[in-house]
Amino acid sequence: MVVTPVGPQAQGKPGAPSNMEQVISMLAQEYGVPDWQPRRDPVSELIYTILSQNTSDANSLRAYQRLEEAFGGWEAVARSSPTAIAKAIWLGGLARSKAPRIKQALQGIIKRRGSLDLSFLEALPLAEAKAWLRQLPGVGPKTAACVLLFSLGRPALPVDTHLYRLALRLGLLSKVSAEKAHQILEDMVPPGQVYQFHVNMVRHGRRICRAQRPHCPQCILREICPSWPQFWPGLVQEPR
C-alpha cells in the first residue's frame, strides 16, 4: 500500500500560514509525531465512522464489534433489514437513524462497484475520492475524510468537534461552518502532516483545550492563542 501522502517524504503545500506551522511544531513538541498505520479496510472504516457519529468512542467501538459478530461480514449487513441492523448496534446510540444509513451506504457501494471494495480510492485524485464517497447516503466531509485518512493514508483532514473548536480559538478559522472548515484547514496543512495535525489537535482538545473551562495555564499553544484571556482573564504569568 502506498502511503506517501502522510509520510515524512511528502511535500508541503506552498504558502502554509506561519501560525499553522507553529501550531503543528508546538503540538509535536508536546505530543510527538504519531506514526500512521492503516486502522481498518476502507469499508470497515466507513461503517465504524457512521457508528461513531454523535456518540463516544467506547460506545461506537462496542456497536461496531456487535455488528461484526451479529452478521459476520458486510455483505450480510447489506442484505439485512434496518431493523436487524439497529438491534445489533443499539448500544451505540441513534440506532434507528444509523442502521438505514449503513445499509444504504453498503448497497450504494455494491450498486456502483459490483462489490464491497473501496481500495480503488487510493489511486484516485483526492478530490475525486472525496466526491465518490460523498455520493453515498449519509456520508459527509468528515466521514469521507476519515475513510481516506485512517484507512488509505490519503491527506484528507477530518474536522471533529475538538479540531473545529481549537481552530476557532487559535484564529486558524473565522466563523465558518464545520463542513466548510474541512477544506479550509486541509488547504493550510502540508499533506505530510495532515495525520499528525489531526491526531495532536484531538489530543490537545481532549486534555487541555476543553469545551468548558480549558486549561490555559498548562497550554503549550497559549503564546500564540488569541482566545485564552477570555477564559483566564486574571492569568498574567509568562507562558511556559
Task: Indicate which residues carry an active-site annotation.
Answer: 142
Phi (first) and psi of residue 89, to 5 degrees? -105, 15
Of 214, 228, 201, the closest CA to residue 20 belongs to 201
Grid cell locating 132: 465518490
The DSSP-derived string for the chain is: ---GGGSTTPPPPTT--HHHHHHHHHHHHHH--PPP---S-HHHHHHHHHHHTTS-HHHHHHHHHHHHHHHSSHHHHHHS-HHHHHHHHGGGS-HHHHHHHHHHHHHHHHHHHSSS--GGGGTS-HHHHHHHHHTSTT--HHHHHHIIIIIH--------HHHHHHHHHTTSS-S--HHHHHHHHHHHS-GGGHHHHHHHHHHHHHHTS-SSS--GGG-TTGGG-SSHHHH-TT--SPP-
